[in-house]
A and B are shown apart, each in its own frame.
Chain A
Amino acid sequence: MLVGRNGRSDSLVLEGRVLASAQGIDEALRITVRDGVISALEPGAPGALVIAPAFVDPHVHLRTPGREDEETLRSGTEAAAAGGYCAILAMPNTEPVVDSAAVLGALVEGARDEAVVPIGFMAAISKGQQGDELTEMVELAEAGAAAFTDDGRPVVSAGLMRRALQYSVLTELQLALHCEEPSLSRGGHAHEGSVAAELGIGPYPSSAESVMVERDLSLAGAEGRPVHLMHLSARESVAALDHALANGVAATGEVTPHHLVLTDEAVRSLDTNTKMNPPLRGEGDRDALRDALRRGAITCVATDHAPHARQEKDVPFEEAPFGVTGLETAFAALHTHLVIPGVLTLETLLERMSAGPARAFGLDEPRIEVGARANLVALDLDAEWNVTEDGFRSLSANSWLLGQALRGRVVKTVADGRLVFESSDAP
């Protein structure tokens, strides 16, 4: 399901405070990796680094094929490596859409040459993401699809959504849903509330998301199938997820760093890097998302890394496309804005960035134990750095964090047994 560059496995030693709550580890250890596998865990010096299971991003736009000027398999996975990720899931809303084994096969081949970090390619739920006909899901699964989604667009027809749930029994792969009722979001560019009202920006109400979340959870419950809810933004959606979980629906959810940190107040700047879909919402929504992540109703942090060319964002707010980059800043942003202020523990953040997303998509959880394939991230929690346009490995720089100082930095990433990133100023 995950495809990365063929080749070597590395041998290396990492030492520091090892934090792997799933394995019950929080102690100073020396980790020996031999030929890509953890071969020894021995008492070590605490040092300046925290070493944890590497991250898994369930929501990345690699823009390939079609917009290789914005991101390629290589640049996107180099960005992932710099962000501490050992696996990423790529969205199928490319040009052409990943809706056939031919398109998927070409990506899988490309990843074997270019992917620094293993990629799982998602395929579309509907042909051309048009919402009319199902894709050949079984053939796509056999060709290596990691999951199915029409992300970028909702599955508008409830009937097609239900058929997709029913048919997914044959693939046992997750359906990841972008929940948006287009007749409610049409013309919307910012959260419906006082900021949009004052600025005169077309409102995109919370209900545009939550009515679709409620519909899809209801269908999933009725069909007895799992669903994964992408980039949740509204407190009403969190309430619907809570309700479904309490009723035994096998639902998982994800939330982005920007929805966890910002509110629609940020839109007052008219900075097009505060424009995302779903939009930044109110403080009550942000708090509900933080709370859901803390208690585990939402188990995944997803960047929704959405690269855009400079000329596409250098336009007036309403003309700009939705989306921001996030792979290289996710950990630092959430460490700075949630962990340091005490909103979220470091252990919980690390879990929601690694095991949580892996579990939601049936991937192997990155583990720190002898005999496990090495998927490790080394973090310097005290490192302060500035987010600048020229500091990205991604081909795009449309980050909501430009110009900001962050605390906490990825210094080494080991993905599938290979050292894929090493910060130049690593201690």
Chain B
Amino acid sequence: MSESRPPASPRRHLLSVADLDRRDVERMLDTAQSLAGSLDREVKKLPTLRGRTVVNLFYESSTRTLASFELAAKRLSADTMSLRSAGSSVDKGESLKDTALTLAAYEPDVIVVRHPSIGAPQLVARLTDAHVVNAGDGKHQHPTQALLDLHTMRQALGRVDGVHVAIVGDILHSRVARSLVQALGLVGAHATVVGPPTLVPRGIESLGCDVSYEVDAIAGADVIYVLRMQQERMSEAFVPSLREYTALYGITPERVRKGQVVMHPGPMNRGVEIDPRVADSPAALVTDQVRAGLVVRMAVLYDVLTVAPVPDHVRARAVA
């Protein structure tokens, strides 16, 4: 396979947090912060990516991620189109390779990929000349989610360095958890993953996190990051019942200490992994995360298309 790979090119992608270093993360967070100002203006559109084309290729259902990528591209004046697997040639059995090559024929600048299988964005990156952004591949990575979570923490806590985050729930099936643990490590923050032993994968410590099977481990954290608990985990016997899961790991007001903030990547199962009283409390940053999704995805699109920092005129306009 390596044979057919083109030689390393200067094209910039965002495929995995593992490919980033601290400077990359901080640069994108800084860009996001600059761009955040532009959203408060009456005219929210920036001319930055005028003439560029962003294609969203989504093989899984998505509300937040797809909507925010579309809007992010539009706010930066890029042309954008979204292709979902349902109702496209994918329904007729077209392979990812052929779909990618077909889209590549329109010469998009960026292809944003969400796919149920690990490595799909890498495949698209190998087959096309576009910059590829991973919007979630299998249980592997969801790097823009990790970045928007860091942005949200920075806004809420004023820093990310030294912050302790407890990630609670189904770690095994979570690309969000994997990306976030790695991203936290890059910026000097620390993660503890908490969940039932059947849903914490063996060997996850090598990502640089602590592991606990006790919900008490969240007490010392600055941030409680709650993962969605899916119904199908019961039929696969990962946990005996939602009732027992909620009793052991559900985030109730009693389990949230004063001063802690609570995050959730959505969509929430109120009453399962998160008590509605917590979800609706001022400690919950869930809507902040959604808002952050837009500016961070703007920053990511901007970042992959240019190595230079945000030009002064954009910064000036953004904060004006």
Within 8 A of B (CB), among A277-324: 311, 313-319
**Inter-chain contacts of B96 with A (CB < 8 A):** 315-316
Contact A271 B2 (CB under 8 A): yes
When the two chains form their complex, are residues B118 and A317 in contact, meaning their CB atoms are under 8 A apart? yes
Residues on the A chain within 8 Å of B190, using CB: none
Q: Is B3 a contact of A316 with CB atoms below 8 Å?
A: no
Nearest CB in chain B to that of A205: its residue: B202
- Residue in A closest to B173 when the chains form the complex, CB atoms: A200
User: Complex Cα distance A205/B141, Å?
Assistant: 22
Given contacts A270-B122, A403-B3, contact A318 B201 (CB under 8 A): no
A189: nearest residue on chain B (CB-CB)?
Answer: B118
In B114-138, the 8 Å CB interface with A consists of 115, 117-120, 122-123, 137-138
**B138-160 contact mask (Cβ, 8 Å, vs A): 1 or 0:** 11110000000000000000000
Asked if B97 is at the interface (CB within 8 A of a chain A CB), the reply is: yes
User: Which residues of chain B are within 8 angstroms of A389 by Cβ–Cβ distance?
Assistant: 3-4
- Chain A residues with CB below 8 A from B119, complex form: 270, 316-318
Chain B, range 171-196, C-beta contacts under 8 Å to A? 173-175, 178
Q: Is the CB of A198 within 8 A of B1?
A: no
Q: Using an 8 Å CB-CB cutoff, how does the interface string of A182-212 with B read, 1 for contact, 0 for none?
A: 0000000000111111111111010000000
Segment with Cβ contacts to A, from B50-58, B203-211, B281-289: B203-211
Q: Which residues of B contact A200 (CB under 8 A)?
A: 118, 138-141, 173-175, 178
Is B89 close to A, CB under 8 A?
no
Given A270-B119, A316-B137, verify A203-B202 contact (CB < 8 Å): yes
Within the complex, which residue of B95, B117, B204 is in contact with A317, where a contact is CB–CB below 8 Å? B117
CB distance from A110 to the nearest CB of B (A): 31
B139: chain A residues at CB < 8 Å are 200-202
A192-B115 Cα distance, complex, nearest whole Å: 23
For residue A402, CB closer than 8 A to chain B, the reply is yes
Interface residue tally of chain B, by bracket? 20 to 34
Q: Is A168 an interface residue (CB 8 A)?
A: no
> Taking the complex as formed, is A93 at the interface, i.e. its CB lies under 8 A from any CB of chain B?
no
Knowing A314-B97, A315-B96, A316-B119, the reply to whether A198 touches B178 (Cβ < 8 A) is: yes
CB pair B202 A272 closer than 8 Å: no
- Expressed in whole angstroms, the Cα–Cα distance for A197 and B193 within the complex equals 13
Contact A316 B2 (CB under 8 A): no
Q: Is the CB of A198 within 8 A of B117?
A: no
**Cross-chain contact B207 with A316 (CB below 8 angstroms):** no
What CA separation (Å) do A318 and B178 show in the bound complex? Answer: 17
**How distant is A183 from chain B, measured CB to nearest CB, in Å?**
10
Give the distance in Å from the alpha carbon of A229 to the alpha carbon of B2 in the complex.
Answer: 32
Question: A174 interface residue, CB < 8 Å from B?
Answer: no
Instruction: Enumerate chain B residues within 8 angstroms of A205, measured Cβ to Cβ.
Output: 202
A273 at the interface (CB under 8 A from B): yes
Residues of chain A lying within 8 A (CB to CB) of residue B206? 194, 197-198
The answer to whether B1 touches A203 (Cβ under 8 A) is no
Q: Is the CB of A197 within 8 A of B97?
A: no
Contact yes or no, B203 A198, CB < 8 A: yes
Q: Find the A residue at minimum CB distance from B181.
A: A198
Chain B residue nearest in CB terms to A282: B203
Q: Which residues of A contact B138 (CB under 8 A)?
A: 200-201, 316, 318
Interface contact A197-B140, CB-CB below 8 Å: no
Cβ contact within 8 Å between A271 and B203: no
A388 at the A/B interface (Cβ < 8 Å)? Answer: yes
Write the residues of chain B forming the contact surface with A, with a CB cutoff of 8 angstroms. Answer: 1-4, 95-97, 115, 117-120, 122-123, 137-141, 173-175, 178, 201-207
Please name 13 pairs of A and B residues whose Cβ atoms are closer than 8 Å in the assembled complex, sorted by A: A194-B205, A198-B178, A198-B203, A199-B140, A201-B139, A269-B2, A270-B118, A316-B118, A318-B118, A319-B117, A389-B4, A402-B1, A403-B3
